[in-house]
Structure 1
Amino acid sequence: MRWDIIILAGDRGADDPVAQAAGAGCKAMASIAGQPLLARILETVNSAPQLAHCHIVGPSADIVAANPTLASLIATSGARWLAPEDSPVASAMTALAGIDADRPVLITTADHALLTHDMITAMCTPRDDVDLAVGLIDRARVSSAYPESRRTAIKLGGRGYCGCNLFAIHKARGRVLVDAWRRVEDERKHPARVVSGMLGWGALARYALRRLSIEQAFSGLSRRFDVRVAPTLLTTPEAAIDVDTVADLRQVEAILSARH
């Protein structure tokens, strides 16, 4: 079965620092190597053989109305557009509500400018023993390739792991954990708070002592929420690099320029 994909594209409009630096009306239309962020990810998604239907959540209706090029991009992409909610998780849940529960779904963000088919393949490889897979990468891989890149990492078993803004819902039960993430989504830049919020104080104590392994963390999540959740460990350093800041924008531009 081919996958649906949800692209979270909530946007602060022209006030976003990335939009301001790029001279764009909103972050989704910030140009990188001659192509808007949203156009870049749509090009990758629409040419990925694993993916069938695309759902774009955001930007808001007023931002889309004020940016005719953005409106045209969404309209011609063949994607279903939805207005964003007040948080990424709420937006994801709204999109999921319109997708049949038995369909596998990949979730990512519009600022994942370096998303590739290989990353999509890794995330969408069928796993019968998993309801939800979380894309992670060893921070050492990212630091080795891009020592100047500052990425948030969670330390598990003596190693640091960076998130990749990629979540694969293999089975309907995986949606439970997406909804549960609401309790910590505002703390995603603070790994210890995420651990305590999702796994409890006992796990936080082990985390503080560097005794919480990646296997223990995911088995703990599975037990606590009655969901089979596991990591998908990616190997491409660019998987961890999104465009949160102006520094990220410049870094991604440099990476793309070096490829040509």
Structure 2
Amino acid sequence: MKNTSRACSAIVLAADRNPADAVAVAAGVQCKALAPVAGVPMIRRVVQALQSTDAIDRITLVGPARNLLCSEAEIEYLLSAGELDWIENASSPSASAARALSGGNTQQPVLLTTADHALLDPAMLNYFLEQALESGCDFIVGVARLETVLARFPDTRRTAARLRGGPYCGCNLFVFVTERGRQLAHFWRNVEQERKRPWRVIAGALGGGAVIRYACGRLTLEQALERLSDKLGIKIGAVVLPFAEAAVDVDTPADLLLVEKILAT
């Protein structure tokens, strides 16, 4: 029996961004979430990790198309048995997140992750959620230092924010701790809509001085989040994860090969 005294619900963004996703094509499946890693579809790996975590009491998949999930027997069983929820995805990840966050108990913390987080495991989740729920913040993002990732996987390439004390890689782990924190989904959507110039939105929130410090490598993660918090009226924090695997999602066919190799060893 799970301890639900401070349980989160979980949202898994599982739809493809593009109709011909490179990972789906490489794996010969109809959507990326169904790409097998060591013989197990990524979406099943993520759901199993979430189910194995006492801090999660309900899981909702956002996408892919419902008929595509019929080919994944275990996921289909959980959906049919009412042990897993599904809603249709929206036009973008941020819009899908906003749609999922609009339902359910607004007082309950919500973990957000993605179906391509093939290395997600209970230890990672427990560490992240414990830190997030004790943070006193409205919203928490999970990051890992680039040096942590490269020490474990020296040949991988990861996008990293060049903040002092870092650089930091994103980990596709977020917690909307409070109802106020859910408002951040709207800011995310504004950033996403400025796809070619996202810094226009971010710079507006951080302020010119902070952007200059970032460009000079003098802005810390804490300073950046404090500026965003002040601007948006939402207390935003970060959990720095000690797990290199937390920063490895499957965005490309090369990533697919990497996670296969990691699981094989």
Structure 2-normalised TM-score? 0.89
Q: Select the residue among 22, 25, 42 that pairs with 2:30.
A: 25
Query: 2:58 aligns to what?
Result: 53
Separation in 2, partners of 1:6, 1:190: 27
Structure 2 residue 43 is the aligned partner of structure 1 residue 38: yes
Letter of the structure 2 residue corresponding to residue 155 of structure 1 = R
Q: Letter of the 1:107 partner, please give it.
A: L
Aligned length: 255
Could you tell me which runs of 5 or more consecutive residues in structure 2 were left unpaired when the two chains were aligned: 1-5
Quick one: distance in 1 between partners of 2:18 and 2:31? 4
1:212-223 alignment runs, 5 A limit: 212-223=219-230
Question: 1:147 Cα deviation (Å)?
Answer: 1.3
Deviation at 1:57, TM superposition (A): 0.2
Q: Which moved more, 1:65-74 or 1:204-213?
A: 65-74
Which deviates further from its counterpart, 124-133 or 68-77?
Answer: 68-77
Whole-Å separation in 1 of the counterparts to 2:71 and 2:55: 28
SS of the equivalent of 1:156 reads coil
Tell me the alpha carbon deviations over residues 175-217 of structure 1, each in whole angstroms, 9 at most, x when there is no partner. 1122211122367899866742542333211111112111110
1:202-233 deviation per Cα after TM superposition (whole angstroms, max 9, x unaligned): 32111111121111101101101111111111
Q: Which moved more, 1:217-226 or 1:169-178?
A: 169-178
In the TM superposition, residue 83 of structure 1 has moved relative to its aligned partner by: 0.6
2:115 alignment partner in structure 1:
110
Segment drifting more, 120-129 vs 225-234:
120-129
Q: What letter corresponds to residue 184 of structure 2 in structure 1?
A: L
| Match for residue 176 of structure 2 among 136, 161, 169 | 169
AA aligned to 2:117 is H
Match of residue 76, structure 1, among 56, 64, 78: 78
Aligned partner of 2:239 in structure 1 is 232
Aligned residue number for residue 3 of structure 2: none
The answer (yes or no) to whether the contact 1:102–1:172 under 8 Å persists in 2 is yes
Aligned residue number for residue 251 of structure 1: 258
Letter in 2 for 1:68: C
Contact 1:8–1:56, Cα closer than 8 Å, also in 2: yes
Task: Deviation per CA, 1:57-104: give whole Å up to 9, x if none.
Answer: 0013xxx32553147624525211011111111101111111211001
Relative to structure 1, is the Cα distance of residues 128 and 146 closer, same or farther in structure 2, using a 3 angstrom cutoff? closer
Paired amino acid for 1:40: R
Give the corresponding residue for 1:201: 208
**TM-score when scaled to structure 1?**
0.91
Q: Distance in 1 between matches of 2:215 and 2:190?
A: 20
Instruction: Letter of the 1:234 partner, please give it.
Output: L
Residue 13 of structure 1, CA deviation: 7.8
1:157 maps to what in 2?
A: 164
Unaligned runs of 5+ in 1: none
Query: Which of 211, 215, 222 does residue 218 from structure 2 map onto?
Result: 211
Tell me the distance in 2 between the aligned counterparts of 1:170 and 1:88.
Answer: 19
Partner of 2:95: 90
8 A contact 1:192–1:207 mirrored in 2: no
Contact 2:44 2:74 in 1 (8 A): no
Q: How many angstroms apart in 1 are the aligned matches of 2:260 and 2:196?
A: 24
What's the RMSD between the two structures over aligned residues?
Answer: 2.2
Asked whether the 8 Å contact 1:14–1:20 carries over to 2, the reply is no
Tell me, yes or no, if the aligned pair for 1:33 and 1:253 is still in contact at 8 Å: yes
Distance 2:213 2:198 in 1: 13
